[in-house]
Amino acid sequence: MGWRVVGDDDLGEPVWLRHTPTRVVSLVPSLTESIERTRPGVLVGATDYCTHPPDLEVVRVGGSKYPRVDDVLALRPDLVVANAEENRPEDVQRLRANGVPVWVTAAPRSVFAALGSLRRLLTQCLEVVDPDWLLAAEEAWWHGREVVATAVVPVWRKPWVVLGRDTFAGDLLRRLGIGNAYAAHPQRYPRPSLEELRTVLESGAADLVVLPDEPYAFCADDGPEEFPDVRCALVSGRHLTWYGPSLVEARDVLTPPLDAALA
């Protein structure tokens, strides 16, 4: 079979394939989980941070930001999947220069933008019909709750980094009834000082701090102590920031700690 364009990736780059991929390398944890759940066994490589499914047995090729490109090439993939925010353009360019097709997803700005991106990848590249988990995720997140609180949502510290405008996690929280104090910020991931965060909370512009356990591993002893006398919710980072099969259960996982913090 000759080369054919299966579609444009999220950045508008045509992706050429010779056949339906049977050897895929994923450089994005949420895409790894989505592909393995949909086409078990097609993955031959993934990053060190691709922790789901837990029993995934593939060659590890390093981190998302700094994958070992030579190791990826050695796997002779039919397709590599990457993300515009998580992966470096120079690594994508080197893979393509070596004849490897790369499908790059955009950083999603909402839950349904993420699900639409996944649908294009799975149906156009892997040639599958809409998987059941994707349909279930769309149904689970179709309706949102009325916003009952406004939160500061750190995703890193040293320096502090918070959710800003147009983020997947911000939209997901809004659908759970939690607004984002930095939703109007010009940056997607602002870096305010701790003093600024405390001022936002003290002023009443926010009345909750949401602390996920990834990418930074916030926990009961690391994070809440910086915001005394403020309601804090410790939540699953995977269910807050990953888009894929985890979205089916994310509402049930995230709602209890948020409700408990607001009670």
Q: At 237, is the secondary structure helix, strand, or coil?
A: helix
Rounded CA-CA distance 170/168 in Å is: 5
State pLDDT tens for residues 8-18: 999 999 999 99
Peptide linkage before 257 cis (omega within 30 of 0): no
Q: Compute CA distances 108 → 16, 70, 105, 242, whole Å.
A: 23, 28, 8, 11
What pLDDT, on a 0 to 100 scale, did the predictor assign at position 3? 87
Query: Which pTM was predicted?
Result: 0.93
State pLDDT tens for residues 117-157: 999 999 999 999 999 999 999 999 998 899 999 999 999 99
What pLDDT, on a 0 to 100 scale, did the predictor assign at position 2? 77
State pLDDT tens for residues 201-229: 999 999 999 999 999 999 999 999 999 99
CATH homologous superfamily of 4-131 equals Nitrogenase molybdenum iron protein domain (3.40.50.1980)
241 within 8 A of 168, measured Cβ to Cβ = yes
Domain 143-262 has CATH 3.40.50.1980: yes
Task: Enumerate the CATH 3.40.50.1980 domain ranges in the chain, comma separated.
Answer: 4-131, 143-262
25: confidence class by pLDDT, cuts 50, 70, 90: very high
Q: How many CB atoms lie within 10 A of CB 262?
A: 15
Q: Using CA atoms of 189, 195, 200, 204 in order, give the dihedral in degrees to the nearest 10.
A: 150
Q: What is the largest CA-CA distance in the chain?
A: 65
State pLDDT tens for residues 58-114: 999 999 899 999 999 999 999 999 999 999 999 999 999 999 999 999 999 999 999
